[in-house]
Amino acid sequence: MAISLTEARTIIAKALEKGRELDLKPLSVVVLDSGGHVKAFEREDGASPGRFAIAHGKAYGSIMLGLAGTAQMQRAESQTYFMDAMNGLFGGRVVPVPGGVLVRNDADEVIGAVGVTGDSSDNDAIAAVAGIAAAGLTGEI
Amino acid sequence: MAISLTEARTIIAKALEKGRELDLKPLSVVVLDSGGHVKAFEREDGASPGRFAIAHGKAYGSIMLGLAGTAQMQRAESQTYFMDAMNGLFGGRVVPVPGGVLVRNDADEVIGAVGVTGDSSDNDAIAAVAGIAAAGLTGEI
Amino acid sequence: MAISLTEARTIIAKALEKGRELDLKPLSVVVLDSGGHVKAFEREDGASPGRFAIAHGKAYGSIMLGLAGTAQMQRAESQTYFMDAMNGLFGGRVVPVPGGVLVRNDADEVIGAVGVTGDSSDNDAIAAVAGIAAAGLTGEI
Amino acid sequence: MAISLTEARTIIAKALEKGRELDLKPLSVVVLDSGGHVKAFEREDGASPGRFAIAHGKAYGSIMLGLAGTAQMQRAESQTYFMDAMNGLFGGRVVPVPGGVLVRNDADEVIGAVGVTGDSSDNDAIAAVAGIAAAGLTGEI
């Protein structure tokens, strides 16, 4: 199953709502499909202009490697040259920190990824997971 | 005035609504701010995966050159090497055809650009203008 | 439905078999999934070393644009700067000629693309379609 | 002697078979010729979309440097800037970890390289060597 635009809209709306509830800094949220292609994105007023690339990099690396942000960060810390090599392969578009979250359906298949940026990486991940859960899907941080 | 997320959402929602009204193919719509940075994006179900890049290229070239898609296409047809040179400067990210639309406010300032792709270039531009008008702004195609 | 490795193997084996039957030059055949990512590839003995990139470019452009090779070639001939712009967006990886074939399932969804190179573009497309049909799928040239 | 498509097919089939035997995660296997050009590739169902690039990077670095993955990893750990420099030269396409395996014939000549990715780097190398041995060739990890 491909992730639908309706699901992507729910994920973004609810991730931003969670950010407001926790009083986080302005957030940016991207939803990618299972091939790593952008399905939807929103950047809140007040967020810095580079936030699309950062949100995208968190989600894109998650999809391409099949590893969410937390696992990527662990690999980056234990074997820096490996994540450097990944960025060489994928055009420098991999951001290996929390806030990149894999989206799984009921059959446990990866149907997309969410990238959130704007607050601390851990808070970014909390907002992402809230949005994914609101769409009836499961987030792997 | 910067373009707001609320305005961007209206532009996208109404551009997609116009596409459904005219029975166009699945559309993708991006809104950039006055610095050429992504504010919001949606890709309808059924659109091909590369549509973010195409929508972005239409809007990005419009902002960076201060020329909407129709004017860029005229330049590409009369002076191909000029648009080639622009693509050299801007990393190949300029798509010089209709569907890239400048967004002006009441003071006639450019506050952003919209890129629409999915149907014919002319239909893409019609959907973009409908969305921009619905947000109380003016589109220059 | 994602294209399976079993389907990809059938497509490649039967496209190569068609090439031998028609006495074509050594062929190279790639199968991409619906996100444009490589699923399988084979290059026959005697084919030149650059054939992976060419086969890939035919299939990759088909997926990203949602347009098979024949439609891309028509666009390249009528509006060269447009296909140049597409190559700017997609890193120079689009080869807009026949031999790039979209793969559709029974529900008419694009589940992948095949790229064949080695003989004339038209013969390449014939081999691709033969392989796709042998897998019980439909090729759009 | 150039590596043949028949040999490449055997390598891939037997590497994947070894992966199933050891219950590894879904694997992706590439075979490159002695010039570093792709001869054949397969990605098992369930593997993440970026696996072609990773498998390729393991094999490509092995060929271009004449050093298999284990030796590259040792160099990356002792002299990170050296492998960074290699990635500068080779367009970021070198992945310096086990799973990149040189293929030697009876005359001890390098006739190609295999890249395997999907499980731990060490398990990836085990699968690669099994495939190479099944083709009557010798793998250097």
Model confidence at D43, pLDDT cuts 50, 70, 90, reads very high
Q: Can you tell me the distance from the alpha carbon of A114 to that of A57, in angstroms, rounded to the nearest whole number?
A: 10
| Nearest CA among B119, B75, B79, B77 for reference residue B99 | B119
Average pLDDT for A48-74: 98
Q: Can you tell me the distance from the alpha carbon of D110 to that of A88, in angstroms, rounded to the nearest whole number?
A: 26
Straight-line distance from the first to the last Cα atom of chain D, in angstroms, rounded to the nearest whole number:
21
Average pLDDT for D1-29: 97
Q: Are C131 and C22 in contact (CB under 8 A)?
A: no
Task: Give the nearest partner residue to A45 out of B5, B38, B50, using CB atoms.
Answer: B5
Average pLDDT of chain D to the nearest whole number: 97
Return the residue of D nearest to A87 by Cα: D92
Burial profile B53-63: b = 16 or more Cβ within 10 angstroms, e = fewer: bbbbbbbbbbb
Average pLDDT for C36-45: 98
Strands A38-43 vs B110-117: parallel, antiparallel or unpaired: unpaired
Q: Which of A3, A4, A5, A60 to mutate to test the interface with B (most CBs of B within 10 A)?
A: A5
Q: Can you tell me the distance from the alpha carbon of D54 to that of A67, in angstroms, rounded to the nearest whole number?
A: 13
Residue C65: what pLDDT? 97
Average pLDDT for A4-31: 98
CB atoms A37 and B44 under 8 Å: no
ipTM of the complex: 0.96
Q: What CA–CA distances, in Å, run from B139 to B117, B130, D77, D84?
A: 16, 8, 56, 47
Q: What percent of chain D has pLDDT over 90?
A: 99
Task: Give the nearest partner residue to D38 out of C33, C37, C41, using CB atoms.
Answer: C41
* D57: pLDDT strictly greater than 80: yes
Q: With beta carbons under 8 A apart, name residues in chain C contacting A37.
A: 35
Q: H or E segment at D126? A: helix D121-134
CB atoms B45 and A9 under 8 Å: no
CB atoms C40 and D42 under 8 Å: yes
Tokens of A65: 């490697």
Residue B20: what pLDDT? 98
Tokens of C35: 């996100």
Q: What is the pLDDT of residues C42-75, one digit of tens each?
A: 999 999 999 999 999 999 999 999 999 999 999 9
Residue A33: what pLDDT? 98
Residue C9: what pLDDT? 98
Residue B1: what pLDDT? 73
DSSP label of C118: S
CB atoms B48 and C110 under 8 Å: yes
Nearest CA of chain C to the CA of B2: how many Å? Answer: 27
Model confidence at D1, pLDDT cuts 50, 70, 90, reads confident
Nearest CA of chain C to the CA of D52: how many Å? Answer: 6
Model confidence at A19, pLDDT cuts 50, 70, 90, reads very high
Residue B137: what pLDDT? 98
Q: Are D113 and D100 in contact (CB under 8 A)?
A: yes
Residue B10: what pLDDT? 98
Q: Which residues, in sequence order, are CB contacts of B76 under 8 Å at separation 6+?
A: B82, B83, B96, B97, C81
Domains and CATH numbers, chain C: 5-140 (3.30.450.150)
Asked if A touches C (at least 3 Cβ pairs < 8 angstroms), the answer reads: yes
Average pLDDT for A80-91: 96
Q: Are D123 and D22 in contact (CB under 8 A)?
A: yes
Q: Can you tell me the distance from the alpha carbon of C70 to that of C125, in angstroms, rounded to the nearest whole number?
A: 9
Q: Can you tell me the distance from the alpha carbon of B26 to that of B121, in angstroms, rounded to the nearest whole number?
A: 13
Say if residue D138 is exposed, middle or buried (CB neighbours under 10 Å; 0-12, 13-18, 19+): middle
Average pLDDT for A122-126: 98
Tokens of A95: 């951001």
B→C contacts (Cβ < 8 Å), by residue, are 47-50, 53-54, 57, 76-77, 80, 83-84, 87, 91-97
Q: Which residues, in sequence order, are CB contacts of C19 under 8 Å at separation 6+?
A: C25, C26, C27, C44, C118, C119, C123, C127
Model confidence at C1, pLDDT cuts 50, 70, 90, reads confident
Q: With beta carbons under 8 A apart, name residues in chain A contacting D94.
A: 85, 88
Q: What angle do CA D42, D43, D46 make, to 5 degrees?
A: 155
Cβ count near A2 (within 10 Å): 18
Q: Can you tell me the distance from the alpha carbon of D27 to that of B61, in angstroms, rounded to the nearest whole number?
A: 41
Task: Give the nearest partner residue to B41 out of A4, A41, A50, using CB atoms.
Answer: A41
Q: H or E segment at D33? A: strand D28-33
Task: Give the nearest partner residue to B43 out of A38, A45, A52, using CB atoms.
Answer: A38
Average pLDDT for C106-124: 97
Average pLDDT for A42-71: 98
* A1: pLDDT strictly greater than 90: no
Q: What is the pLDDT of residues D116-126, one digit of tens each?
A: 999 999 999 99
Cβ count near B17 (within 10 Å): 14
Average pLDDT of chain C to the nearest whole number: 97
CB atoms B40 and A43 under 8 Å: yes
Q: Are C24 and C132 in contact (CB under 8 A)?
A: no
Asked if D touches B (at least 3 Cβ pairs < 8 angstroms), the answer reads: no
Write out chain B's pLDDT in tens, 141 residues.
799 999 999 999 999 999 999 999 999 999 999 999 999 999 999 999 999 999 999 999 999 999 999 999 999 999 999 999 999 999 999 999 999 999 999 999 999 999 999 999 999 999 999 999 999 999 999
